């Protein structure tokens, strides 16, 4: 299926990339690049052992373009400036020799897509599974992920979320050092490998979320500044130069990155984009880049007849991000909620260093369940200022919650997972808090069976000075925490290899028990209307601070569920109003089936005028239901 064959709404053809190398008929290729800094520019074409140069013509907006004959997909090319400097294409679709090598011509219509009936998933049905392609399998490729999809279907997830895949230096990186936003990583399998993975996911009913980075580019192989004012010194980010979204000549920069978002949706059939760290995206334009990007993506989804989502990562707790445009917001579909993680994590671990200083109060998790953000304008001791905005009026489906993700695991000194910090009872409690919440749940690869491998930070740079700067930066980042020990060397191959997951663990002992426990939680979430429906109106949060018990009463139509979490030692009994009719126990983390030893909760609850008593063992939860 070619782009021309893709159905579109109202007869309007889908968006197509007009930058980089575009394959035409009769062996011709059109080249187009924005390079307002250049007075003249040529494209150097390589085929076999020969090369030739084609001068490009400049227009008034600083775009250079030209058409070359006798070309074919797979041919390599570079752009040559008037001083003889040669650079890869900023909109390269493929970098087969890495970030410093030539770009490769790719025919986007060459992949025979088999997902023509795929329409995407409603946002409320997303049950996300975040994975890093390089460490998810021993091979570390897109192709190697495909055989693992059946494992994820067995678990019950509905969407995979790929950490960034844009071409980065070397073969080992989290992905946030990408230098070529349009080129899937060569060591992962390049463009065709990613398309085959997306196609396979859609055939199995899985949505694909792609993590994209629009706040900076990586420090190695980043040649965009040679072509135009893509960056600005008006703002600063912790990771590199800020993108120029609101300064002089920013219109074309905005077009470049919005085009990148549309590129993944059209050429790669991606279902959702996760925008990395939008608190590092600076724009004081009247129409914010986030709004413009989200509107463009949603409009393209409508043209394609597919549900397409835009999800943000943000530490700002700014409700404008996920508020509809007609109500004064940017109109993104959802955002990660770090507050939920921090409130849950501190109750489970007792940590109070760094940003965890702001958390640890039992009531904060109750507020997270009830409203979303914990900090909605209150004073933050860690930030030493007020932080956040009220989120109680937003639908729960606007928030993605988790007990682990790549940041919360990988940005620890040794990259240790929650399973290395707490007991199996606490792991089950964390899983239930996430999967039985009224929010969009996200799992981090391996957490469903208590993967032992850490997920430390790793890189594969070629510059010694840059490598040392990264090492020093990691040390400084951990200064606010009281963690002890040596930081794994980010550049060492052993650090990367140590992060490889071992899915065979899920068939053994406690790992198997936890895996089956996750499956049961997910099954109940999908089957019970009160757990599946993400409405704030169907949620009541009840706190018992002294007992450290938190209860959720959820209802949808005639279906009701009652969930009680105990975040403490010893046994606790609480009295809770249950209304008319009996309740049946659906799941109890303390049952022997799940490795527990304190199954105190009764199999049935009968309504009592003074309240029904429910007993819980240490660090446990119980789920009741009635219809």
Tens of pLDDT, residues 463-492: 999 999 999 888 877 776 767 778 899 999
Q: Is 407 annotated as a binding residue?
A: yes
- Asked whether residue 352 is domain-assigned, the answer is no
Work out the average pLDDT over 185-214.
99
Residue by residue, DSSP assigns 355-413 as: GGGG---HHHHHHHHHHS-S-SS-EETTTTEE-----TTS-GGGEEE-S--HHHHHTST
User: In angstroms, how far is CA 616 from the centroid of its own chain?
Assistant: 35
Q: Which of 104, 120, 148 is the last residue of a domain?
A: 104
Decide: 200 and 191 in contact? Cβ < 8 Å.
no
User: Using CA atoms, how far apart are residues 593 and 589, in angstroms rounded to an integer?
Assistant: 8
Tens of pLDDT, residues 407-464: 999 989 899 999 999 999 999 999 999 999 999 999 999 999 999 999 999 999 999 9
Adjacent-strand bridge partners of 161? 130, 209
Q: Is 291 annotated as a binding residue?
A: no
Decide: 131 and 160 in contact? Cβ < 8 Å.
yes
Tens of pLDDT, residues 358-372: 999 999 999 999 999
State yes or no: pLDDT of 2 exceeds 50. no
User: Using CA atoms, how far apart are residues 200 and 190, in angstroms rounded to an integer?
Assistant: 16
Higher pLDDT among residues 406 and 49, named by residue: 406
Of the candidates 130, 241, 313, 358, the residue annotated as catalytic is: 313
Work out the average pLDDT over 82-89.
98
Decide: 105 and 75 in contact? Cβ < 8 Å.
yes
Adjacent-strand bridge partners of 544? 549
Q: Residues with Cβ < 8 Å from 176, sequence gap 6 or more? A: 164, 213, 218, 239, 276
Q: How many CA atoms lie within 13 A of 616 on its CB side?
A: 31
- Asked whether residue 71 is domain-assigned, the answer is yes
Q: Is 279 annotated as a binding residue?
A: yes
Euclidean distance between the first and the last CA atom of the chain, given in angstroms as a whole number: 47
In three-state secondary structure terms, 232 is strand
| 294 secondary structure, DSSP code | H
In this prediction, residue 429 carries a pLDDT of: 99
User: In angstroms, how far is CA 549 from the centroid of its own chain?
Assistant: 31
Q: Is 275 annotated as a binding residue?
A: yes
Higher pLDDT among residues 341 and 13, named by residue: 341
Tens of pLDDT, residues 440-450: 999 999 999 99
Work out the average pLDDT over 207-233.
98
Work out the average pLDDT over 372-377.
98
Least confident of 41-55, 152-166, 216-230, 560-574: 41-55
Decide: 183 and 222 in contact? Cβ < 8 Å.
no
| 44 secondary structure, DSSP code | E
User: Using CA atoms, how far apart are residues 276 and 282, in angstroms rounded to an integer?
Assistant: 13
Per-residue pLDDT band for 620 (boundaries 50, 70, 90) equals very high
Q: Is 111 annotated as a binding residue?
A: no
Tens of pLDDT, residues 581-605: 799 999 999 999 999 987 899 999 9
Residue with tokens 């965009």: 224
Burial of 320 (0-12, 13-18, 19+ CB in 10 A): middle
- Asked whether residue 585 is domain-assigned, the answer is yes
Q: Is 32 annotated as a binding residue?
A: no
* Pairing of β 166-167 and β 180-184: antiparallel
Alpha helical stretches, state H, 125-249: 133-136, 142-145, 149-155, 190-203, 224-227
* Mean of the per-residue pLDDT values of the chain: 95
CA dihedral sign of residues 596, 599, 603, 608: negative
Strands (E) across 113-244 are located at: 128-131, 159-162, 166-167, 180-184, 207-212, 231-236, 241-243
Tens of pLDDT, residues 315-358: 999 999 999 999 999 999 999 999 999 999 999 999 999 999 99
In this prediction, residue 579 carries a pLDDT of: 80
Q: Which of 78, 104, 130 is the last residue of a domain?
A: 104
Q: Is 522 annotated as a binding residue?
A: no
Q: Is 338 annotated as a binding residue?
A: yes
Query: Does 276 participate in catalysis according to the annotation?
Result: yes
Q: Is 278 annotated as a binding residue?
A: yes
SS (H, E, C) 46-93: EECCEEEEEECEECCCCEEEEEECCCCCCCEEEEEECCCCEECCCCCC
Q: Residues with Cβ < 8 Å from 60, sequence gap 6 or more? A: none
Q: Is 342 annotated as a binding residue?
A: yes
In this prediction, residue 3 carries a pLDDT of: 45
Decide: 474 and 457 in contact? Cβ < 8 Å.
yes
Per-residue pLDDT band for 11 (boundaries 50, 70, 90) equals low
In this prediction, residue 1 carries a pLDDT of: 39
Percent above pLDDT 90 for the chain:
91
Q: Which of 68, 86, 104 is the last residue of a domain?
A: 104
Adjacent-strand bridge partners of 45? 52, 77
Per-residue pLDDT band for 279 (boundaries 50, 70, 90) equals very high
Q: For residues 15-42, b (16+ Cβ closer than 10 Å) or e, as one string?
A: bebebbbbbeeeeebebbbbbeebeebb
Residue with tokens 């294409």: 89
Cα dihedral 311, 430, 456, 172, rounded to 10, equals -40
| 532 secondary structure, DSSP code | H
Query: Does 313 participate in catalysis according to the annotation?
Result: yes
Decide: 315 and 279 in contact? Cβ < 8 Å.
yes
Per-residue pLDDT band for 4 (boundaries 50, 70, 90) equals very low
- For residue 539, the domain's CATH number is 2.60.40.1180
In this prediction, residue 606 carries a pLDDT of: 86
H/E segment holding residue 275:
strand 272-275
- For residue 17, the domain's CATH number is 2.60.40.10
- Asked whether residue 45 is domain-assigned, the answer is yes
Least confident of 58-62, 177-181, 239-243, 392-396: 239-243
Of the candidates 276, 300, 333, 559, the residue annotated as catalytic is: 276
Q: Is 46 annotated as a binding residue?
A: no
CA dihedral sign of residues 241, 247, 253, 254: positive
Q: Is 276 annotated as a binding residue?
A: yes
Q: What angle do CA 279, 349, 603 make, to 5 degrees?
A: 110
> What is the number of structural domains in the chain?
2
Residue 304 Ramachandran class (φ > 0 left, ψ -120 to 50 alpha, else beta): alpha
- Asked whether residue 52 is domain-assigned, the answer is yes
- Asked whether residue 202 is domain-assigned, the answer is no
Could you tell me the CA-to-CA distances from 408 to 195, 403, 416 in Å, in that order? 29, 8, 9
User: Using CA atoms, how far apart are residues 378 and 488, in angstroms rounded to an integer?
Assistant: 36
Residue with tokens 């620890």: 412
Neighbours of 504 (CB within 10 A): 9
User: In angstroms, how far is CA 186 from the centroid of its own chain?
Assistant: 21
Adjacent-strand bridge partners of 180? 167
In this prediction, residue 482 carries a pLDDT of: 67
| 580 secondary structure, DSSP code | S
State yes or no: pLDDT of 220 exceeds 70. yes
State yes or no: pLDDT of 5 exceeds 50. no
Whose CA is closest to 118, among 274, 265, 12?
A: 265
User: Using CA atoms, how far apart are residues 587 and 591, in angstroms rounded to an integer?
Assistant: 8
Q: Is 408 annotated as a binding residue?
A: yes
Range of the domain at 37: 3-104
User: Using CA atoms, how far apart are residues 348 and 502, in angstroms rounded to an integer?
Assistant: 25
Q: Residues with Cβ < 8 Å from 90, sequence gap 6 or more? A: 19, 20, 33, 34, 180, 223, 224, 227, 230, 256
- Asked whether residue 289 is domain-assigned, the answer is no
Q: Is 411 annotated as a binding residue?
A: yes
Q: Is 340 annotated as a binding residue?
A: yes
- Asked whether residue 349 is domain-assigned, the answer is no
């Amino acid at each position: 299926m070619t782009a021309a064959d893709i159905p579109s709404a109202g007869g309007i053809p889908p968006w197509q990339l007009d930058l980089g190398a575009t394959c035409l008929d009769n062996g011709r290729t059109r080249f187009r690049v924005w390079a307002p800094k250049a007075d003249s520019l040529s494209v150097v074409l390589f085929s076999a052992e020969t090369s030739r140069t084609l001068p490009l013509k400049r227009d008034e907006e600083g775009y250079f373009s030209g058409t070359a004959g006798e070309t074919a997909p797979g041919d390599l090319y570079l752009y040559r400036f008037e001083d003889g400097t040669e650079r890869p294409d900023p909109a390269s679709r493929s970098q087969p020799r890495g970030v410093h090598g030539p770009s490769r011509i790719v025919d986007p219509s060459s992949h025979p897509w088999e997902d023509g009936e795929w329409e995407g998933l409603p946002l409320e049905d997303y049950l996300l599974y975040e994975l890093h392609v390089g460490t998810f399998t021993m091979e570390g490729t897109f192709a190697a992920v495909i055989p693992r999809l059946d494992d994820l279907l067995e678990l019950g997830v509905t969407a995979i979320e790929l950490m960034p895949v844009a071409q980065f230096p070397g073969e080992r990186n989290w992905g946030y050092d990408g230098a070529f936003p349009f080129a899937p990583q060569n060591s992962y399998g390049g463009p065709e490998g990613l398309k085959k993975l997306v196609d396979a996911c859609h055939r199995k009913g899985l949505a694909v979320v792609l993590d994209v980075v629009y706040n900076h580019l990586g420090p190695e192989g980043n040649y965009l500044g040679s072509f135009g004012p893509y960056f600005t010194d008006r703002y600063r980010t912790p990771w590199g130069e800020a993108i120029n979204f609101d300064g002089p000549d920013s219109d074309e920069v905005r077009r470049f990155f919005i085009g990148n978002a549309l590129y993944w949706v059209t050429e790669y059939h991606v279902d959702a984009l996760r925008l990395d760290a939008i608190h590092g995206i600076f724009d004081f334009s009247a129409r914010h880049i986030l709004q413009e990007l989200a509107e463009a993506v949603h409009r393209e989804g409508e043209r394609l007849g597919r549900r397409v989502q835009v999800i943000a990562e943000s530490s700002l707790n700014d409700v404008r991000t996920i508020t509809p445009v007609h109500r004064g917001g940017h109109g993104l579909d959802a955002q990660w909620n770090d507050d939920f993680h921090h409130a849950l994590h501190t109750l489970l671990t007792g940590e109070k260093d760094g940003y965890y200083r702001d958390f640890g109060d039992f009531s904060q998790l109750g507020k997270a369940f009830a409203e979303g953000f914990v900090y909605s304008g209150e004073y933050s001791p860690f930030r030493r200022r007020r932080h956040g905005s009220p989120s109680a009026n937003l639908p729960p489906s606007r928030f993605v919650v988790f007990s682990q993700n790549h940041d919360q695991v990988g940005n620890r000194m040794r990259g240790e997972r929650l399973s290395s910090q707490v007991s199996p009872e606490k792991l089950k409690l964390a899983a239930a808090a996430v999967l039985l919440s009224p929010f969009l749940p996200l799992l981090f690869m391996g957490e469903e069976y208590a993967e032992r491998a850490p997920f430390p930070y790793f890189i594969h740079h070629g510059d010694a000075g840059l490598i040392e700067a990264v090492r020093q930066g990691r040390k400084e980042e951990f200064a606010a925490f009281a963690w002890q020990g040596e930081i794994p060397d980010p550049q060492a191959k052993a650090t990367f290899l140590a992060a490889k997951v071992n899915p065979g663990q899920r068939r053994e002992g406690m790992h198997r028990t936890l895996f089956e426990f996750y499956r049961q939680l997910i099954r109940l979430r999908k089957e019970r209307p009160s757990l599946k429906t993400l409405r704030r109106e169907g949620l009541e949060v009840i706190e018992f601070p002294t007992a450290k018990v938190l209860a959720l009463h959820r209802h949808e139509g005639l279906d009701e569920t009652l969930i009680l979490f105990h975040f403490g030692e010893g046994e606790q009994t609480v009295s809770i109003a249950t209304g008319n009719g009996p309740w049946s126990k659906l799941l109890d983390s303390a049952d022997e089936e799940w490795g527990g030893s304190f199954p105190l909760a009764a199999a049935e609850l009968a309504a009592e005028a003074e309240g029904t008593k429910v007993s819980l063992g240490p660090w446990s939860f119980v789920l009741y239901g009635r219809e």
